[in-house]
Amino acid sequence: MNSLIILIGAGLLVPLFFKGKIVIAKYIATAAFAFAAFNVFMGHGISMEYFTLTPDIQLLEIVVLIVLAATMMTFSGFERPLVSQTLFLGAASMAMLETNNFLMFIVLFEVIAIISYVLGANIRSRLNAEGAIKMFVAGATASGFILLGFALFAMVTPSFNYAEIAIRGNFTLVAVGIMLAGIFYKMTIVPMHGWAGDAYAQINHSAAAILSSVIKVVVVIATFKAFYIFLQAYLNTTVLLFSFFAIITMTLGNFMALFQKKIAKILSFSSIAHAGYMLIPFAAIASGYSYTALVYLAVAYIFMQTSVFLLLNDLRREAHIKTLDDIRGLYQRSPLHALFFTIQLLSLAGVPIMAGFISKAVTFWAGVDAGLWPLVLIAALNSALSVGYYAWVIKHIYFDTTDGYNTSKIYMTPGSLLGQLILLAGTIYFGIFAAPVFVSTGI
Amino acid sequence: MTSVSIYLILPYVGAALAFILGKMNQKLAFWVAEIVGAILFGTSVYVFMHYGETPIDIDYTWIAYGNLTLPLGIYIDHLSIVMLLIATGLGFADIHFAHDYMGDDPDQPRYYAKVLFFIGGMILLVIAKDLIGAFAGWEFMGLASYLLISFWFKTKSAADAGMQAFLYTRFGDIFLLAAIGLLVYFVGNINMVDLDSLAKAGEIDKTVAFITAIFIFLAAVGKSGQFPLYPWLMNAMEGPTTVSALIHGATMVNSGIYIVARLFDFYAYTDALLVVANVAALSAFIGATSALVQKEIKKILAYSTMSHLSIAFVGLGVGSLAAGMLHLMNHAIFKALLFLSAGAVIYIAHHTKDAWKLGGLIKTAPYVALFMAMGSMSLAGLPPFSGFFSKDMIIAEAITHGSPFVYTLVTIAGLLSIAYITRLWILIFLGEPRNEDIAGHVHAPGNFFIRLPLGILAFVTLGIALYQTDAVEYIVGHEIEEPHVKGLLVGLLLGMATLFAIVVGLYVKGMNLLEKISKHRFMQIIHQLLFRGYYVEAGITFISKNIVVNGIARALRWVDTYMIDWVVNATVPFARMIFRGFRIGHTGRIGDYIGTYAIGVAIIVVAILIIVKGV
């Protein structure tokens, strides 16, 4: 409860400091996140009815709050409007992760959706506007579906608590299907992904960093918790449906990223491809490792995805770097940016000692454990394919020279450095120490 | 528990900090490294003082899913503490010394970051409980060693030396990895403590144990510069002298001995110790004889390092853990002292490494001469210096328990140390400068950053001689009875005196005679053979060049260029086709996106309909 009050209070307080430099606002926000993270670490959740704090959720919340704090540190004056929204998002994420009530889940889903529209609405160019509008229209459609599905579901269930949800024949099945259609929008599952490929690349990159990592992860985990009982009840459907969506999402995401010229597009399609990997634990629900795999994917993904988009944000703000041609020889212009970018991209590609590797290994194991060999095989091939475009970016950073292009040095602000170091520490920590996730999810 | 976290985290954080802060201000890099080094050493001393009855033993499972379990435990017992004190203590002294030695280098942040990273690797190796953790530390050190040897990577010889060290040690490391694989598969346990007790109880298949022991020893051969994988150690002297002192003299090269000592019962269980003893005796002989004729100060010390590591290995090989570890400890200290003294000499003589060009330095640097003499006496094995006790013990053990081959060679190697180290000391400090560039340009060393660490190390070398019995008891946990060989001491001392007299006579008084001898054709052949390190490097280069590079690699390259590349290239148009297909849906119009959304909904609806109909 304390954490929520602090986060929301800070969110309401910070606009007072928006005039001039936003340093004070950043300090307040970072302190609020740190306090909330510490509170959660000490085991104090929201502790109200409908909310429970389990070890796995505790770990996830700490990760989410730390990542948001790191994101906050990298903000500059351009991201002024995002500060308080990020704080609200922290509070909403905590609630969303902890809830054990379906009604709360739906409400918080909408809350997060609205926060994401506001995050996207930091409009400074036509492109930003286009991205924000796309996100909003697609989001509105999705909300309609979710509410329709929820209405159907509400007619038959005696209680909204996860433990007491009743499954009443085909009514529930249809309701769940329709709700999933809405949730898939937020998870950017092909073919509900159309908006994301554009919007992530078009809106302000720092907003995209939050949208494509924190929000996606929170929604995925909360959905898994909320729908667990349904997924178990219709096991065959689950396996078929989620395998199908996982395969087309991964494949389309990776192939679309392969030939892009804009870095932001590569990253947004890679984010879509990762949504595909995140469906594997859903399909592998029969395995005891599926939840561990999902949490690991979430934890690993949140660090690396946030980091790459924030780095890109830095590069675009400082040096107008947008395409692969622009990023050539980045190593000479800014060794720090180059290093962070490379490590996080390698992690996304799934190279060992980075979190991306173990998360994929555990996920694939969960798939094998559930007997989904073909799915895992396709995912592994996809993972190999993805190295194609990650390595391509790294090649441009390190092995190409800036010939003829702008060669001026790029400065990294101390805040950005600190934020990136935190994200890097997370990527490497969870790449080496697997036990925290395993233990918290009860393996 | 706190100390373990410090060990596991601080070196790497320190390395990052030294690099980042050093980029802002060169001086900060040194101070960060110095402070981190001091804290690490302080932690080791604290652990040493507060060590309870039982080892610090922390079990940790790194990854466990399915039937795969990879443990990553921590185990600190007396053996580890000795190694920790050596690694962090010498590391600290070395960092302190580097202040002046590396003072002019523009790349100091990189230097200190790498050194701290190295210390982290060494610590990880000696506190790991399982082979996985040890392997990680092992490889960290290999990487750091490569990076530091080729620290001045713009000179070709340094870059080549780094590459050579990397490849030679990697050849051994593959066997360590293979050994881990074998143990996981056949024994199901890679916990080094458990392996020892399992071997003691006789619960491991002898063949498996023998093969894994030999594999691990092969890795140790690579890391500790034993025959035939030693040439890299000599070329590693291309790196800064401070690096040679820390990594290629005092700490990393000991890791091979450490891992055999850690798995001592496992080795003793099979005949693997015999192999260890024989290979080591041969290496000791090769190292000692080659050291006699080298020109460069650091190469003499490198060959002597190889020789003395082998002597320690012989101690293990003939079944005496105490003798081997004692010599390792003594050697680490006096070799660090010798290397740092050599560094001081090289530093004050404006980076002249050729001993023949120096001379008469005793006038400019009397203290360095004194400290180096103390190190030399310890290395030579003169009482009452520490080297005497351990060397004497090993030779006695070898005579009592070893074969004639082993004890003959190790005795020769032990005796020869006085010859080459006296020669080196005389060439540097006595006589007149033999090179005009250097004469008159030598400057005196500073007090705080050069004389102080040397003095402390010299004092320790002398002082630790008082605690030899305690050290042995500390390492093995009980008192041991030294084998007594009649007349050995007298014989050794007489032999040393003779050799000493010959060297002094030749190099101080009889330079003309020396020249005459060396002009003789037969002597020149022998000189070349020794100078080139018995042509082992040439042999390895020949094999790898003609068979590996020109044979196997070329064939593989053909396959790669004409078959694999073709297949890969052929996939590009295919991938592009798929990309074009997928791109159709991505028009950028929100209406189209809602359209594809509808398709998605349709898929779900169809799926549900199928289920409702019960198909």
Cα distances (angstroms) measured from residue B604 to each of A179, B109, B292:
10, 58, 82
The answer on pLDDT for A20 being more than 90 is no
Q: List the structure tokens of A160.
A: 């909204």
Q: What is the pLDDT of residue B67?
A: 67
Mean pLDDT of A163-190: 86
Q: State how far residue B183 is from chain A, nearest Cα, in angstroms.
A: 22
- Which two tokens mark B589? 């119009």
Minimal CA separation from A251 to chain B, in Å: 10
> CA dist B538 to B289, B529, B533, B534, Å?
18, 11, 9, 9
State yes or no: pLDDT of B614 exceeds 70: no
- How far apart CA B56 and CA B14 sit, in angstroms, is 24
Cβ–Cβ < 8 Å for A419, A314? no
A350-385, pLDDT tens digit by residue? 988 899 999 999 999 999 989 999 999 999 999 999
Determine, for residues B64 and A141 on separate chains, whether the beta-carbon distance falls below 8 Å: no
Furthest C-alpha separation in chain B: 108
Q: Smallest CA–CA separation between B595 and chain A, in Å?
A: 9
pLDDT digits (tens, 9 = 90+) for B3-55: 888 888 899 999 999 998 888 888 888 999 999 999 999 999 999 988 877 88
- Using alpha carbons only, how large is chain B's radius of gyration in Å? 28
Interval A193-202: pLDDT, tens: 888 888 999 9
> Per the CB < 8 Å rule, is A258 touching B65?
no
Cβ of A255 and B575 within 8 Å?
yes
Question: A253 CA to chain B: closest CA distance, Å?
Answer: 9
Is A320 in the B-facing interface, judged by CB distances under 8 Å?
no
pLDDT (average), residues B254-274:
90
Q: CA B55 from chain center: how many Å?
A: 25
pLDDT digits (tens, 9 = 90+) for A38-75: 999 998 888 888 899 999 999 999 999 999 999 999 99
Min Cα separation A170/chain B (Å): 7
pLDDT of residue B105: 84
End-to-end alpha carbon distance in chain B: 60
List chain B residues with CB under 8 Å of A236. Answer: 611
Q: Which of the residues A189, A256, A360, A364 would you substitute to probe the B interface, choosing the one with the greatest number of B C-beta atoms within 10 Å? A: A256
Give domain status of residue A129, yes or no. no
**pLDDT range class, residue B361, cuts 50, 70, 90:** confident
Which tens digits make up the pLDDT trace of B528-582? 888 888 888 888 888 888 888 888 999 999 999 898 889 888 888 988 898 898 8
Among A residues 165-184, those touching chain B with beta carbons less than 8 Å apart:
170, 173-174, 177-178, 180-181, 184
DSSP code of residue A16: G
Please determine, for residue A420, whether its predicted confidence score (pLDDT) is greater than 90: yes
Dihedral sign for Cα atoms in the order A337, A343, A348, A349:
positive
Assigned domain for A213 exists: no
Average per-residue pLDDT for chain A: 90
A422 near B CB under 8 A: no
E strand or H helix that includes residue B382: none
Is A266 in contact with A389 (CB distance < 8 Å)?
A: yes
Which residues face A51 on adjacent strands? A99
Residue B474: predicted pLDDT:
86
Does the pLDDT of residue B66 top 70, yes or no? no
Span B359-366, average pLDDT: 82
Q: pLDDT tens, B378-416?
A: 998 888 888 888 888 899 989 888 889 999 999 999 999
Q: Is B128 helix (H, G, I), strand (E, B) or coil?
A: strand
pLDDT band for position A403 (cuts 50, 70, 90): low
- Report the chain B residue with the minimal C-alpha distance to residue A133: B590
Phi, psi for residue A51 in degrees, rounded to 5: -130, 130
Least CB-CB distance to A362: which of B65, B586, B612? B65
Chain-centre distance for alpha carbon B387: 20
Q: Do B597 and A138 touch (CB under 8 A)?
A: yes
Q: Which residues contact B135 (CB under 8 A, 6 or more apart)?
A: B176, B177, B180
Q: Which of B582, B583, B593 sits opposite A195 (nearest CB)?
A: B593
In a domain, A191, yes or no: no
What's the rounded Cα separation, in Å, for the pair B330 and B464? Answer: 8
What whole-number distance in Å separates Cα of residue B318 and Cα of residue B313?
Answer: 9
| ipTM of this predicted structure | 0.86
pLDDT over 60 at B615, yes or no: no
Q: Which of A138, A234, A434 lies nearest to residue B62, judging by beta carbons?
A: A434
Query: Tens digit of pLDDT for each residue in B151-165?
Result: 988 888 899 999 999
pLDDT of residue A146: 92
Q: For the residues A381-395, what does the mean pLDDT come to?
A: 92
Residues 6+ apart with CB under 8 A from B351: none
**Entry pTM:** 0.79
From chain B, the residues in CB contact with A240 under 8 A are 607
B219 vs chain A: nearest CA distance in angstroms? 23
Helices (H) and strands (E) in chain B, counts: 27, 4
| Out of A142, A240, A256, closest to residue B579 by CB | A256
Q: Do A255 and B592 touch (CB under 8 A)?
A: no
The 10s digit of each residue's pLDDT in A219-271 is 999 999 999 988 888 888 889 889 999 999 999 999 999 889 999 999 999 99
Instruction: Give mean pLDDT, residues B88-112.
Output: 89
Backbone angles phi, psi at A113, to 5 degrees: -60, -45
Strand residues in B114-249 grouped as ranges (E): none
Q: How far is B65 from chain A (nearest CA, A)?
A: 8
CB contact under 8 A, B596 and A241: no
- Answer yes or no: do B63 and A358 touch at CB < 8 A: yes
Is A430 part of a structural domain of the chain?
yes
SS3 for B425-494 is HHHHHCCCCCCCCCCCCCCCCCHHHHHHHHHHHHHHHHHHHHHHHHHHHHHHCCCCCCCCCCCHHHHHHH
pLDDT value for A170: 79
pLDDT at B443: 75
Q: Which residues pair with B71 in a beta bridge?
A: B61
Amino acid of residue A221: I
The per-residue pLDDT for range B195-214, each reduced to its tens digit, is 888 888 888 888 889 999 99
For B444, residues 6+ apart whose C-beta sits below 8 A from its C-beta are B348, B364, B365
Percent of chain A whose pLDDT exceeds 70: 99
Chain B residues within 8 A of A244 when measuring between CB atoms: 603
Rounded-to-integer distance, Cα B87 and Cα B258, Å: 12
Specify whether the CB–CB gap between B126 and B83 falls below 8 A: yes
3-class secondary structure, A372: coil
Question: Which residues 349-388 of chain A have a CB within 8 Å of chain B?
Answer: 358, 362, 365, 369, 385
Rounded mean pLDDT of B76-81?
89
Find the chain B residues whose C-beta atoms sit closer than 8 A to any C-beta of A.
Answer: 60-66, 575-576, 578-579, 582-583, 585-586, 588, 590, 592-594, 596-597, 599-601, 603-605, 607-608, 611-612
The rounded Cα A62 to chain-centroid distance in angstroms is 15
* Residue predicted with more confidence, A346 or B486: A346
In this predicted structure, what is the pLDDT of residue A347? 94
What whole-number distance in Å separates Cα of residue A175 and Cα of residue A182?
11
B74: β partners: B58, B128
Closest CA to B312 of B265, B351, B261, B385: B261
Structural domain boundaries, residue A383: 234-443
CB B401 within 8 A of CB B485: no
pLDDT beyond 90 at B114: yes
- The full set of domain ranges for chain B reads 1-173+195-201+229-263, 271-522, 532-584, 590-615
- Span of A141-145, B175-179, B221-225, B345-349 with lowest mean pLDDT: B345-349
Question: Using the beta-carbon criterion (under 8 Å), do A138 and B594 form an inter-chain contact?
Answer: yes
pLDDT at A290: 92
Q: What was the pLDDT predicted at A282? A: 94
Once rounded to an integer, what is the mean pLDDT over residues B232-245?
A: 88
Q: In this structure, are residues B206 and B291 in contact, taking their beta carbons and an 8 Å threshold? A: no
pLDDT at B366: 86
For the cut 80, the answer to whether the pLDDT of residue B482 exceeds it is no
Q: Is the pLDDT of residue A405 over 80?
A: no
Domain count of the fold of chain A: 1
Contact present, B49 and B85 (Cβ < 8 Å): no
- The number of beta carbons lying within 10 Å of the beta carbon of residue B330 is 27
* DSSP sequence for A215-268: IHHHHHHHHHHHHHHHHHHTHHHHHHHHHHHHHHHHHHHHHHHHT-SBHHHHHH
Tell whether A241 lies on the interface with B, counting CB pairs under 8 A.
yes
For residue range B420-475, list pLDDT tens digits in order.
999 999 888 887 777 766 666 677 777 788 888 889 999 988 888 888 888 888 88
Report the sign of the C-alpha dihedral through residues B515, B521, B526, B528, in that order. Answer: positive
B268 by Cβ neighbours in 10 Å (0-12 / 13-18 / 19+) ranks as middle
CA angle B168, B420, B122 (to 5 degrees): 40
